Structure formats: C-alpha cells, structure tokens
Homo-oligomer: A and B are copies of this chain.
Amino acid sequence: MIAGVDFNIRKAEKEDAPVMMELIYELAEFEKAPESVINTSRKIEIDGFGENPLFYALVAAFQDRVVGMSLCCFRYSTWKGKRLYLEDLIVTGNFRGRGIGKALFEETMKLAKIENCSGMNWQLLDWNTPAMDFYKKYGSEFESGWLNAQIDL
C-alpha cells in the first residue's frame, strides 16, 4: 500500500500517453460509456505533445507508476471570459482516498490562476456523489438543467 503523501505531481509527457489512455478507459467504464471512447494513445501523443498541444495534462506518479491524471484545455465563456475547462480528473482504483485527486485538482487550479482564467469549469454525473462531495469542499457551484449536445463529423 502507499502512504498518503508518497507521490508526486508533474506535467504529463509523451511517454505517458499509453497509461493516460488506460486511465481514460477506466473513467469511461465508471461512467458506463466505454463504447464512446474512440481516442487512442497514439492520438493522445500527437494531440497533446506536439507543436500545438490541444490539451494540458498533469499526472500523479507513485514511484515510477502513473496512477492519476488531470487533463484540461482553455475555453471561452461569453459570460465570464477565459476559463480552464477540466475535461477529466482520474485516480486509478486502489490509489483513491490518498489525497492524489486533491493534489491534482489543486495543481490544476494553480494553472488556471497562472493563465489568468476567471475560473474553472467541468462536469460530473448527477449520481456521482463522491465526486460532488469532493468538489463541494472547494466551494464549487453545481448547475443542473443543461443537456449535452453533440454531432460527430
């Protein structure tokens, strides 16, 4: 087992793409939508670690193993200006409850501040009460009544 603080948070690197993809699948399983994942670790490599990265990611490493990640990008709110959009915050199963998610979330908030964002946005499933309890500690506001819409091209 791991100690509560025995991990470090660092910027994700190209070599992390395969394990990031594993974490993404793990979250998609939890969210009951594994069939929605069409991304691949090769695409993660190209999209995130080339000349014009499409996202910014942090990973949590325990010894040399990546056990969690936070992935975000910038978004523009017509109401509130520049925002950091947190796409995914994931800690792998048996590493939860150790403060890793907290550390990832707080480092992500730091990035939002450094980048002069007026705030952070993200989504969670309405039945995910552990996530809600986690985010409530930070004074997050939750809003229901919106539908997510999409078209695949």
Interface residues of A (CB under 8 A from B): 24, 27-28, 33, 36-39, 43, 47-48, 54-55, 71, 73-83, 85, 87-88, 109, 112-113, 117-127, 132, 135, 138-153
From B77, B87, B120, B123, A87 is in contact (CB under 8 Å) with B77
Q: Which residue of B lies closest to A148 (CB)?
A: B143
Complex-state Cα separation, A87 to B153, whole angstroms = 18
17 sampled A-B residue pairs with Cβ under 8 A: A24-B78, A38-B118, A43-B81, A54-B76, A73-B74, A75-B75, A75-B85, A83-B150, A109-B151, A113-B153, A126-B146, A127-B145, A135-B149, A139-B151, A140-B149, A143-B148, A144-B148
A109: chain B residues at CB < 8 Å are 151, 153
A28: chain B residues at CB < 8 Å are 79
From B36, B123, B132, B150, A148 is in contact (CB under 8 Å) with B123
Q: Are B118 and A152 in contact (CB under 8 A)?
A: yes
Complex-state Cα separation, A123 to B81, whole angstroms = 17
Q: Are B120 and A153 in contact (CB under 8 A)?
A: yes
Complex-state Cα separation, A47 to B81, whole angstroms = 8
A88: chain B residues at CB < 8 Å are 78
- Residues A150 and B119 in contact in the complex (CB < 8 Å), given A79-B28, A79-B38, A80-B39: yes
